[in-house]
Amino acid sequence: MRITHRLVGLATAVTLVAAAPLALASSAYAHPAALGSTVAAAHVDLTDPHKKDIAMQLVSSAENSSLDWKAQYKYIEDIKDGRGYTAGIIGFCSGTGDMLDLVELYAQRKPGNVLAKYLPALRKVNGTESHAGLGSAFEKDWATAAKDAAFKKAQDDERDRVYFNPAVNQAKADGLWALGQFAYYDTIVMHGDGGDRDSFSSIRKNALKKAKPPSQGGDQVAYLNAFLDARKVAMKHEEAHADTSRVDTEQRVFLRAGNLDLNPPLSWKVYGDPFRIDS
């Protein structure tokens, strides 16, 4: 069930935004200090291979209704959200530029590959929902390319360059642990960072109006609640994002439990479907 996509004009880096010293978010959620052993003494960033795999499973549960994110390299369809084709492990879109960047990278690394011939068409449809020059042949060739280790590596690298690394780096700069790093990553996957009112940076800026991050002396739980609140507002601006369960019954569940390190076992629901990671 793929219903989430970023807006046109993705950025490859996230810019720090100054915080406004306003009141902390609601204390309706449990603070980790009150939960004793649920907070680990040593905090492992999302860059740890095992933590990163957990993050990919969590995103895949929302993007593909499956924890098997490695099965998504071959995924491609038009979900009728105005962004053309959506494909691959992170939902690269033909209408938003990131699919074009991916196929260009693949062509640089492996000239003459099965997707290279579609580059002119991808350049023409960028910014639109058009399939001109693509169509069923492109879909078939995408699935063929997805069997190639070089194409899988290109998808991994573009995911990290455009989404994972900027999100995690910003979260670490804000003093957030693995859960907060994941919240940023999931946000930039869905909304991108194109500078519009619903982009990652705009969501973060709105959260900073309500609470300080730990890097500025704020409380991590209060700040993450403010961030998730701001994200829900942005999600509801677009029909394709209107179901906020990936916040309400996933990230907020972990936050209420005080699991700021995103340690398994993890149980959650997305769009009503239950998921669990035991280790």
Name the active-site residue from 78, 81, 174, 219. 81
Cα distances (Å, whole numbers) of residue 187 to 38, 97, 146? 25, 18, 25
- 81 in catalytic set: yes
Our answer to whether residue 63 is catalytic in this structure is: yes
Out of 45, 53, 63, 248, pick the active-site residue.
63
C-alpha of 52 from chain center: 12
Cβ neighbors of 213 (< 8 A, separation 6 or more) are 19, 174, 175, 176, 220, 223
Burial letters 155-193, b for 16+ CB under 10 A, else e: bbebbeebbbbbbbebbbebbbbbbbbbbbbbbbbbbbb
**Is residue 29 within 8 Å of 225, Cβ to Cβ?**
yes
3-state secondary structure of 274: strand
Nearest to 26 by CA among 258, 211, 249: 211
Q: State how beta strands 92-93 and 266-270 pair.
A: unpaired
**Residue 10 CA to its chain's centroid (Å):** 12
Short-list 18, 45, 3, 37, CA closest to 258? 37
Q: Please list the active-site residues.
A: 63, 81
